[in-house]
Amino acid sequence: MLERVTSYIISIAKDIITFPVTEDTKAEAALKFAQKQGFPDIVGVIDGTYIPILTPVGKLKSVYCNRHDIPSITLQAICDADKKFIDIFTGASGKIHDARVFKLFPIRDKLPIICGERYHILGDSAYPLREYLLTPYRDYGNLNNREQNFNKKLSGTRVLIENAFGLLKSRFRQLMRVDWHELDKSRDLIEIDDMEQHVLGNAVEEPDEMTLRIRGEAKRDRISAAIL
């Protein structure tokens, strides 16, 4: 019975958790974010969190152990300014770094089209800097006022995804540890909880890494100068 209910809820998830893809919904999302820290043109903030699990049947515990030596899978999500999840991806081993999990994220290849040149999501330094994914300036003790201000506003905005994860785990205590050995069931349960909290969006081939980073740096510099 539980599996049937789980399958049904998963089948309607795509209608509940939706990424802003139209010009109107992107503009509305950006306006709400701008009211937080004055950071322009944001459509979402991204991060990952660990969901402790029982070691899946037939798998080695070490394959799923995160940096805290706890078997887990990663829930990577994007939320809006209201802390509602607008895209989720789960199932990757907790051993895998956030940047690698991001490469597996189905929406990743769609973000250049969805965001265009104007919009972007925000992430921490674990993520690759892109025109559509802005990250902090690396702080080696030599950041100027403009760069420090950018990092402060980015951090103050990005904390929303951390708050969203906190709310998720406080409302659905079963996510403190998912007691199913079957990985597919664990994944489904996490996606259901994400969707329930939300209730209480053509891939393109990317240019080379250097070109992507240069575009991201240029956009970050423009925005940091504008919000100083």
Single-letter amino acid code for the residue at 124: D
pLDDT tens column, 132-164: 999 999 999 999 999 999 999 999 999 999 999
Q: From start to end of the chain, where are the E strands? A: 42-52, 72-79, 85-93, 120-122, 133-134
Verdict on whether the full-model pTM lies above 0.85: no
The token duo for 20 is 């802003």
Please name which of 80, 119, 113, 76 lies closest in space to residue 97, comparing C-alpha atoms: 76
Percentage of the residues of the chain whose pLDDT score is greater than 90: 50
pLDDT tens column, 185-203: 444 444 434 444 444 433 4
